[in-house]
Amino acid sequence: MMDSRTIKEKAFLITIFILTLLGVTPVFYVLASVFYKGIEAFARRGLGILIKINGGILPALVGSFVLSILSTIIGVVLAFVAGLFVAEFPNSWVSKATRVASRSLLEVPTVLLGMLVYIILVVPTGHFSLLAGALALALVMLPYVMVHVEQALESVPQLYKEAGYSIGMSRAQVLFGVSVGIAKRGIASGVLMGFAKAMGETAPLLFTIGAARSSLPCSILSPGDAVPLMIFQYAQMPQEYYHDLAWAGSLVLVIAFLVVFFVVRRLVKEVRY
């Protein structure tokens, strides 16, 4: 006979294993659905929807591409230098305030960043634009990249920096020549994570890019479309055809995310000091 203590322990173990399994099941289910329905959509509508403008997803693909590049440039420059500052001068009050601001931005609902850009850029210029969307996305990725940059720089051993100082390098030389060099993989993975984040966000684009999907954007100042926004709006349409396009878009988005994820994985795994 088992005593009540042992029974309790067994019941507890079974419960937590079941709950853990339950917790990770959705990710398989979501991925399986996206691959199944996405491939089905491509099979039904043809691969041509990738390069079709009207009734295809080309404008969204182009828009997403432009948006992720542009927002990465804006966001990464800002996050990289701000991250350098915070890691290099951790005791300055500006650093402390910057840290608080970036941690808070991390928890701010992303839809609010779209609303901010709507007021400061879309309303004054009078029209939606890819640039406005990129600015909103840059604000979304900023805190993510900053955290990665800070952590990567903080993990650089003091010994290496001292070696730099001992041969007469200035603080700036040590920072850019030694620390950034050693931390570059960590920084690169942060940049890629930010890129992935910007690529998949929908809410900041609702009020900034204008969902122009009947033509290709001619410049970054003209309205455009993005894959996540297209999925959101097509999912609410009654026609089967648009649902297929939404699943096809999801498949593209998920594959792009998985590629970035595994690249980051490799980068991080090889970081050994």
Partner 1 sequence: MKGDKLLYYSLLPFAAVVIAAFILLFAVISYTSAPAIKEYGWRLFTSSAWSPSETGPKSSKYGLLAPLYGTLVSSIIAVILALPVTISTVLVIEEYAPPQTRDLIGSLIEIMAGLPTIVYGLWGLEVLAPILKVHVYSPLHQLLGFIPLFSCRPFSGYNILTAGILLAIMVLPYMVAVARDAYRSIPMTYKEAALAIGANRYEYAKIMMGMIKPGLIASALLGFGRAAGETVAVALVIGNVPLISSCLFKPGYTISSLIANQFSMAPLYPYMMNVLFTGGLILLIIGVAANSVAVIMISRSRLR
Pair 152, 213: CB distance under 8 Å:
no
DSSP letter assigned to residue 176: I
Pair 203, 136: CB distance under 8 Å:
no
Measured from the CB atom, the residue of 187 and 196 that comes closer to partner 1 is: 196
> Cβ neighbours of residue 67 under 8 Å, at least 6 residues apart?
130, 133, 134, 137, 198, 199, 205, 209, 224, 226
Residue 154 CB, nearest approach to partner 1 (Å): 16
Residue 50 CB, nearest approach to partner 1 (Å): 18
Measured from the CB atom, the residue of 202 and 219 that comes closer to partner 1 is: 202
User: How many Å from the N-terminal Cα to the C-terminal Cα in the chain?
Assistant: 54
Residue 134 CB, nearest approach to partner 1 (Å): 14
Residue 230 CB, nearest approach to partner 1 (Å): 9
The number of CA neighbours under 13 Å toward the Cβ of 263 is: 15
Closest CA to 251 of 35, 2, 15: 35
Place of tokens 């329905």: 37
Residue 11 CB, nearest approach to partner 1 (Å): 8
Measured from the CB atom, the residue of 66 and 140 that comes closer to partner 1 is: 140
Measured from the CB atom, the residue of 125 and 170 that comes closer to partner 1 is: 170
Q: Would you state the structure tokens that stand for residue 127, as one six-digit string? A: 């029209």
Measured from the CB atom, the residue of 172 and 218 that comes closer to partner 1 is: 172
Closest CA to 237 of 205, 213, 257: 213
Measured from the CB atom, the residue of 103 and 184 that comes closer to partner 1 is: 103
Measured from the CB atom, the residue of 53 and 108 that comes closer to partner 1 is: 108
Cα distances (angstroms) measured from residue 43 to each of 30, 33, 40, 166, 230: 20, 15, 5, 64, 20
Counting Cβ atoms within 10 Å, is residue 254 exposed (0-12), middle (13-18) or buried (19+)?
Answer: middle
Residue 82 CB, nearest approach to partner 1 (Å): 5
Residue 240 CB, nearest approach to partner 1 (Å): 11
